[in-house]
Amino acid sequence: MTQVARPTAAVLPAKAGREFLSAKTALSVLVLACDEEQNIADCLDSVAGWAGQIVVVDSGSRDRTIQLCAERGVEVVHHRYLDHRSQMEWAITAP
C-alpha cells in the first residue's frame, strides 16, 4: 500500500503569531451565508483584525445576517444557492 504525503500547516512561533495577526494582511476572507444571524457576528469579528478584505456571499437571508454585516462594514454580495461547491466557485470567480 502506497502512503500519500499530506501537507502540513506552517507553524508560527508563539511570539510572532500575535504580531502577524494584529497587522492587516493582503488576505481576503470569503464567507458563505444564509440566515446566519446567530453566528455571523462572531465569525466576522474573529477575522476583522487581520483580514485585508471580508466578503459575505449571502443566498437569501431572511434574518438579520445582512444588517450585522453592514454594521461591521463588510461587503455583501448576493447569489442564489445551488450547492456549496457552486456557491464557492461563483464567489471566487465573481468580478
Q: What is the pLDDT of residue 46?
A: 95
Residue range 23-82, pLDDT digits in tens: 666 789 999 999 999 999 999 999 998 999 999 999 999 999 999 999 999 999 999 999
The answer to whether the beta carbons of residues 72 and 45 sit under 8 Å apart is: yes
Beta-bridge mates of residue 30: 55
Q: Hunting for cell 470567480 — which residue is that?
A: 93
